[in-house]
Amino acid sequence: MSGVDPVRPGPLLGTAPNPDAALSVRGLTKRFGSFTAVDGIDFDVPRGQIFGFLGPNGSGKTTTIRMLTGTSGANAGAALVLGEDVLSHPERVKKRFGYMSQKFALFEDLTVEENLRFYAGVYDLSAEEFAKQRAYVLAMADLRGRENELTANLSVGWRQRLALGTATIHQPELLFLDEPTGGVDPVARRHFWDLLYDLASRGVTLFVTTHYMDEASHCNQLAFIYRGGLIAEGRRTTFAAT
């Protein structure tokens, strides 16, 4: 794919970030030494969308998420997350989004219950909120009755649903999912996407990275990143879950 032209200058170039969008990114850039991992990307994600961020390994997806979650600074550009400037003030928004990371999302040497309690503590849930969310997550992840099992003993599909539950235990408005279906069989992947549709139907904005091209069909807005630059971006006007 060498010789692919980036889509810049795009229609958003030079426009101000949109504070009403769930995510609004302008010229976002990350360099590691002389290497540019994310190269001036622009996009807006309206609230309630399933935004698919597609690209091959090493294209800059995780680096983009790190900047949008305030975990890593940017070398240039602007990013509003739920209307807040996440690059300058990550603390203003960090309890309003959830993050399911690519590799590590759960403590495998803790039980299901202990993982839930850990994440409830991170987000300062009251005992009442925890009881409600615990019940919701156990039902959603199909883990009722298995609260005391070690997470390491669960199959990949169950672990992934529990990770989704812990990432949403504080009922975030926006959820970042970094290659959430990697290494999961097709049946579990399908089940997982049903859970994501359910979250989206309740108004949660989803930012999902994947390098599985077939997962593009699950999204209603897509951007393709290649070698740090956006090479295509677009929205569906109609959306039917297939």
Ligand X SMILES: Nc1ncnc2c1ncn2[C@@H]1O[C@H](COP(=O)(O)OP(=O)(O)O)[C@@H](O)[C@H]1O
Nearest CA among 26, 42, 2 for reference residue 233: 42
Binding mask 15-54 for ligand X (x = CB under 6 A): -----------------x----x-----------------
Question: Which residue, 24 or 62, is less far from Mg ion as judged by CB?
Answer: 62
Q: Which tokens belong to 216?
A: 């593009």
Entry field: residues in the chain: 242
Question: Which residue, 27 or 165, is less far from ligand X as judged by CB?
Answer: 27
53-72 residues in contact with ligand X (CB under 6 A) are 55, 57-63
Q: Among Mg ion, ligand X, none, what binds residue 112 when CB lies within 5 to 8 Å by partner kind?
A: none
197-216 residues in contact with ligand X (CB under 6 A) are none
> Shortest distance, CB of residue 54 to Mg ion, whole angstroms?
12
Question: Which residue, 84 or 179, is less far from ligand X as judged by CB?
Answer: 179
Binding-site member from 49, 59, 62, 160 for Mg ion (CB under 5 A)? 62
Q: How many residues bind Mg ion (CB under 5 A)?
A: 2
Chain residue whose CB lies nearest Mg ion:
62
Q: Among Mg ion, ligand X, none, what binds residue 167 when CB lies within 5 to 8 Å by partner kind?
A: none
Which stretches within the chain are classed as H helix? 61-68, 112-122, 127-140, 156-167, 186-201
Q: How far apart are CA 131 and CA 58, in angstroms?
A: 40
The separation between the first and the last C-alpha atoms of the chain, rounded to the nearest angstrom, is 29
Q: Among Mg ion, ligand X, none, what binds residue 37 when CB lies within 5 to 8 Å by partner kind?
A: ligand X
Question: Which residue, 15 or 75, is less far from ligand X as judged by CB?
Answer: 75
Distances (CA, A) of 14 to 18, 78, 173, 232: 12, 11, 27, 18
Whether the CA torsion 236, 18, 180, 196 is positive or negative: it is negative
Contacts of 210 (CB under 8 A, 6+ apart): 52, 53, 54, 179, 180, 181, 216
Q: How many CB atoms lie within 10 A of CB 75?
A: 13
Q: Among Mg ion, ligand X, none, what binds residue 63 when CB lies within 5 to 8 Å by partner kind?
A: ligand X
170-189 residues in contact with ligand X (CB under 6 A) are none
Indicate the residue type of 139.
A
Question: Which residue, 38 or 174, is less far from ligand X as judged by CB?
Answer: 38
Question: Which residue, 61 or 170, is less far from ligand X as judged by CB?
Answer: 61
Nearest CA among 3, 26, 4 for reference residue 224: 4
Residues that bind ligand X (CB under 6 A): 32, 37, 55, 57-63
Residues that bind Mg ion (CB under 5 A): 61-62
